[in-house]
Amino acid sequence: MSENKKEKWEWMKAVVIAFVLVFVIRTFLVTPIIVDGASMNTTLLDKDRMIVNKIDKPERFDIVVFHANENEDYIKRVIGLPGDRIEYKDDTLYVNGKAFDEPYLEKQKQEILDGKPLTPSFSLEDTAVGQQTVPEGHIFVMGDNRRYSKDSRLIGAVPLEEVVGTTNIVYWPIKEAKVIHQ
């Protein structure tokens, strides 16, 4: 085989290996996503580009991406895990009767001018979930922009098999690049 053919063969192998690696990484490890809409404002903004980690199991307060239907993926925050009782009273989250702080909502709460709560009071039974606890194999999710989010209050609990992964890295726009902490 001539040197020219050997060099072409090596380049072809390198390109094929690169494509296989990209396929494996995007299929099983991480994938990019573009935030579509304002339901996670002010934590995430419309058109932010993020990296989704497909390996980690969702935990409370993680931001997750899930298949809402055949055509749409939603991005929301995990509020309840399987078996949890969820309730909001006076703009405070209660999980299994224990109050939780939500520091990621502080900026929005400070900007409220109408005197109404950011998160209206409800119990899990009052939502589309319609029962006392988050069903096994499901999570209860909410957008950070509580007044304007189509989330588990309206669509019900999200089956874990519909979760694409967790995300906390914004990489675009560059000036807004950040790692989001709970």
pLDDT in tens, 75-96: 999 999 999 999 999 999 999 9
**Residue 2 annotated among the catalytic residues of the structure:** no
Domain limits of the chain? Answer: 34-179
pLDDT band at 7 (very low <50, low <70, confident <90, very high): confident
* Contacting residues for 41 by C-beta, under 8 A, at least 6 apart: 108, 144, 145
Given a cut of 80, whether residue 121 has pLDDT beyond it is yes
Given a cut of 70, whether residue 70 has pLDDT beyond it is yes
Distance CA 31, CA 65 (A): 11
Residue 26 pLDDT: 65
Q: What does the buried/exposed string (b/e) look like for 131-148 if buried means 16 or more CB atoms within 10 Å of the residue's CB? A: eebbeeebbbbbbbbbee
Quick: pLDDT tens for 95-116: 999 999 999 999 888 888 888 8
Per-residue pLDDT, averaged over 131-137, amounts to: 96
pTM of this structure: 0.84
CATH code reported for the domain at 34-179: 2.10.109.10
**Residue 116 annotated among the catalytic residues of the structure:** no
The count of other CB atoms within 10 Å of the CB of residue 38 is 15
Q: Which of 6, 76, 89, 98 is catalytic?
A: 76
Q: Which of 39, 54, 57, 175 is catalytic?
A: 39
